[in-house]
A and B are shown apart, each in its own frame.
Chain A
Amino acid sequence: MNKSNARLGWLFASPYLIYSAIFFLFPLIWATYLAFTNWNLIAPDYEFVGIQNFIEAFFSESVRAAFFVTYKFLFMFVPIVVIGSLFLAMIIHALPRFKGLYSVAFFLPYLASGVASAIVVNGILSYNSPFNIWLRGTFGLDINWLGSPILAPLIIALMMAWKFAGYYALLFVAGLESIPKDVYEAAAIDGAVGFKRFWSVTLPMLYPSFYTVTILAVGLMFGIFTEPYVLTGGGPEYATHTWQLEIYQQAFAKMNAGYGTSIAVINSVVTFASIFVFRKILEKWGARHGWE
Chain B
Amino acid sequence: MKNNSWMRLLIVMLAVAMIASACQKPGEGSSEDGKVEFEFWSAPNPTQQAFWSDMAKAYMKENENVKIKVTPMPESPSSEAGIQSAIAAGNAPAISENISRGFAAQLSASSAIVPLEEFDGYDELIKNREMTETMSTWKFADDHQYVLPIYSNAMLFGWRMDILKELGYDEPPKTYSEVLEMGEKLKEKHPDKFLWARADLVKPTWWARWFDFFMMYNAASKGNNFVEGEKFIADDKAGVETLGFMKNLSEKDLLLTREATDPFETGQAVMMDIGPWTFPYWADKFPEMKQGETYELSMPPVPDGVDPENAKTFADTKGLSIYASASKEQQQAAFDFVKWVYSDAENDLTWFEKTNLPPARDDLSTNETFEQYFEENPQLVKYAENIPNAVPPIDSENTVEIQEAIGKDAVNPVIKGQKEPKKAWDDMKKSIDGMLK
Q: Name A's B-contacting residues (CB within 8 A).
A: 6, 10, 14, 17-18, 21-22, 25-26, 40-44, 122-123, 125-129, 144, 146-147, 233, 235-236, 248-249, 252-255, 257
Which residue of the partner chain, among A6, A14, A44, A126, contacts B260 with CB atoms under 8 Å? A126
Contact A6 to B16, CB < 8 A, known contacts A122-B259, A128-B268, A233-B205: no
Sample 13 A-B pairs with CB under 8 A, ordered by A number: A17-B9, A18-B12, A22-B17, A41-B85, A42-B87, A122-B259, A125-B259, A127-B197, A128-B263, A235-B204, A252-B78, A252-B81, A253-B78
**Nearest chain A CB to B177's CB is how many angstroms away?**
28
Q: Is the CB of B400 within 8 A of A253?
A: yes
B248-280 with Cβ < 8 A to chain A: 256-261, 263, 266, 268
Contact A42 to B17, CB < 8 A, known contacts A127-B258, A235-B203, A248-B77: no
A85 to B110, CA, bound (A): 50
The count of A-to-B residue pairs whose CB atoms sit within 8 angstroms is 88
Q: Is the CB of A43 within 8 A of B12?
A: no
Contact A254 to B401, CB < 8 A, known contacts A41-B88, A42-B107, A235-B203: yes
Q: Is the CB of A14 within 8 A of B87?
A: no
By a CB distance below 8 angstroms, the chain A residues around B13 are: 17-18, 21, 25
Q: Is the CB of A254 within 8 A of B400?
A: yes
Asked whether any CB of chain A lies closer than 8 Å to the CB of B80, the reply is: yes
B164-203 with Cβ < 8 A to chain A: 197, 202-203
Asked whether any CB of chain A lies closer than 8 Å to the CB of B431, the reply is: no
Contact A252 to B203, CB < 8 A, known contacts A44-B111, A144-B258: no
Which residue of the partner chain, among B202, B204, B261, contacts A128 with CB atoms under 8 Å? B261
Q: Name B's A-contacting residues (CB within 8 A).
A: 5, 8-9, 12-13, 16-17, 20, 77-78, 80-81, 84-85, 87-88, 106-107, 109-112, 197, 202-206, 256-261, 263, 266, 268, 397, 400-401
By a CB distance below 8 angstroms, the chain B residues around A21 are: 13, 16-17
Q: Chain A interface mostly helix, strand, loop or mixed?
A: helix
Which residue of the partner chain, among A43, A144, A233, A255, contacts B111 with CB atoms under 8 Å? A43
A126 to B256, CA, bound (A): 11
A257 to B84, CA, bound (A): 10
**Nearest chain A CB to B272's CB is how many angstroms away?**
14
By a CB distance below 8 angstroms, the chain A residues around B202 are: 147, 235-236
